[in-house]
Amino acid sequence: MSGLKKTIIRAGLETLYFSGAHLFLQPFVSGVGVILTLHHVRPGRPGQFQPNRLLEVSPAFFSKVIRRLRRSGIDLVSLDEVYRRLVEQDFRRRFVCLTFDDGYRDVMQWAYPVLRKHEVPFAMYVPSGFPDRIGELWWLALEKVIAQNGRIGLTMDGEDCHFDCVTVEEKRDVYEHIYWWLRRRETEEELRDAVRDLCARYGVDMAKICDDLCMTWDELAVLARDPLCTIGAHTVNHVILRKVSEKEARTELAMGRSVIEAALGVRPDHLAYPVGDPTSAGPREYRLAQEAGYKTATTTNPGVLFASDRDRLMALPRISINGEYQQMRYLSVLLSGAATALWNRFRRDEAA
Ligand SMILES: [Zn+2]
């Protein structure tokens, strides 16, 4: 996300919070419940260059969020229960559902004990290739390449490009530039080839990143045995589904699930689209997820749930607990739905 957008979100959140507008807006936008997205839960690391910082929250903040939610009287529910409430239109009580993407080991280490202590249901969306140790966490590989070098080169659109990335500012700019260039590639193969090329040139071992960060099947089996945990599917290779053929998308959706079933003995009924924004999952992916027989499929399109989401179970919105905004006052605004209403209005203006 660009710095400008971040600033607008932050300014928007501050304005909403301090004006109390979210309380005023609440009856109109708060919906019936919300699905939250988290990735990493771990202590902050030193170093100024952390372009993926938004994907992690500290254990202390996480534990505060859980205690606040428990005190709030809002129901904390599983994805199966979200599905039931939407299908039966049972909205007597507001609800929150916690989901974690990608199956990072730090979630087991730092979040799981808190979730158990407070008996909070949660879902873990696992790309089967990560515990199979064939995962390419390319956004982290790119971070590593830039962190470890003062100058990098790669072929972009047929041209040899070179970037100085000595200072933290430069590293941030180069990351943003290459990250979004990669996201604009037409096919997943082009994206992966460019990152593999960078890793080969600069000696970054993608298999090691996967090994260091992602849970093994044995670790996942511990979670899978716990009735609090729902294991969800997240494709095999964490592909941006819109960038692959329909045949390949179908295979990713079916295989990711079968491999989990074979390894853990539980068949995932719920799916999260990797990356999950409109450039990653659209009408074709919603149809394929439906045909694959999933009960729900979540995006990362920001929003709270409404009764009408019964009619779009394959495209449910979520709200990301963004590591850049680890303050309870932001969470209150996000949960009220006011911030996503503002964000959607901003996006409409931008698109117009
Ligand atoms: Zn993911």
C-alpha 215 – ligand 1 centre gap (Å): 14
3-state secondary structure 202-231: HCCCHHHHHHHHECCHHHHHHHHHCCCEEE
H/E run at residue 72: helix 59-72
pLDDT in tens, 176-211: 999 999 999 999 999 999 999 999 999 999 999 999
The distance of Cα 159 from the centroid of its chain, to the nearest Å, equals 32
Within the chain, all domains assigned CATH 3.20.20.370 are found at 3-134+215-351
pLDDT classification of 222: cutoffs 50, 70, 90: very high
Residue 2's pLDDT is what? 59
Mean pLDDT of 38-47: 93
pLDDT tens across 280-298, in order? Answer: 999 999 999 999 999 999 9
Distance (angstroms) between ligand 1 centre and the Cα of 265 equals 22
Gyration radius from the chain CA atoms: 20
334 CA from centroid of ligand 1 (Å):
21
328 versus 36: the higher-pLDDT residue is 36
Region 105-114 average pLDDT: 98
CA of 270 to the centre of ligand 1 (A): 14
The yes-or-no verdict on residue 328 having pLDDT over 50 is yes
The pLDDT, as a whole number, for residue 131 is 98
The 10s digit of each residue's pLDDT in 238-257 is: 999 999 999 999 999 999 99
Query: 101 alpha carbon to ligand 1 midpoint, in Å?
Result: 5
CA of 235 to the centre of ligand 1 (A): 9
Q: How far is the CA of 2 from the centre of ligand 1 (A)?
A: 20
* Cα of 159 from ligand 1 centre, angstroms: 30
List, in sequence order, every residue forming a beta bridge with 153; answer none if it has no partner.
Answer: 162
- Coil, strand, or helix at residue 291? helix
Alpha carbon of 95 to ligand 1 centroid (Å): 23
pLDDT of residue 26: 66
pLDDT at 335 over 80: no
Ligand 1 midpoint to CA 267 (Å): 19
Distance CA 25, CA 261 (A): 43
Task: Please give the distance, rounded to the nearest whole angstrom, from the Cα atom of residue 252 to the centre of ligand 1.
Answer: 14
Q: How far apart are CA 62 and CA 225, in angstroms?
A: 23
What is the reported pTM? 0.91
Is pLDDT of 165 > 80?
yes
What end-to-end distance do the CA atoms of the chain give, in Å?
Answer: 19
- The stretch 313-342 carries a mean pLDDT of 78
Separation of 329 CA from ligand 1 center, angstroms? 26
Tell me, in angstroms, the distance from the centre of ligand 1 to residue 178's CA. 19
Question: In angstroms, what is the span from residue 234 Cα to ligand 1's centroid?
Answer: 7
The domain at 3-134+215-351 falls in which architecture? Alpha-Beta Barrel (3.20)
Ligand 1 centroid to 100 CA: how many Å? 9
Q: pLDDT exceeding 70 applies to what percent of the chain? A: 88
Cα of 16 vs centre of ligand 1, distance in Å, is: 29
Tell me the mean pLDDT in the region 82-87. Answer: 98
**E strands along the chain, which residues?**
33-38, 40-41, 56-57, 75-76, 95-101, 122-126, 151-156, 159-164, 229-233, 270-272, 296-302, 316-320
Q: How far is the CA of 138 from the centre of ligand 1 (A)?
A: 11
Band (pLDDT 50/70/90 cuts) for residue 347 is low
Tell me what the mean pLDDT of segment 254-266 comes to: 97
Six token digits for residue 216: 């093994």
Average pLDDT, the chain: 90
Cα of 249 from ligand 1 centre, angstroms? 15
| Cα(92) to centroid(ligand 1), Å | 32
Ligand 1 centroid – CA 291 distance (Å): 21
Judge whether residue 3 has pLDDT over 70: no
Cβ neighbors of 346 (< 8 A, separation 6 or more) are: 8, 12
Between the CA atoms of 311, 314, 317 and 322, what dihedral angle is there, to the nearest 10 degrees? 170
Distance from the alpha carbon of residue 200 to the mean position of ligand 1, in angstroms: 24
CA of 20 to the centre of ligand 1 (A): 34
Quote the crossing angle between the two packed helices 328-336 and 21-29, to the nearest 10°: 30
Among 30-44, 133-147, 262-276, which stretch is predicted with the lowest mean pLDDT? 30-44
* Mean pLDDT (whole number) for 87-109: 96
User: What does the alpha-carbon distance between residue 61 and residue 68 come to, in Å, rounded to a whole number?
Assistant: 10
> Could you tell me which residues come within 8 angstroms of residue 231 by beta carbon, excluding any fewer than 6 positions away?
123, 124, 126, 220, 223, 224, 260, 264, 266, 268
> What's the 187 CA to ligand 1 centre distance in angstroms?
18
Half-sphere exposure of 80 (CA within 13 A, CB side): 9
Residue 280 Cα to ligand 1 middle (Å): 11
User: How remote is the CA of residue 71 from the centroid of ligand 1, in Å?
Assistant: 30
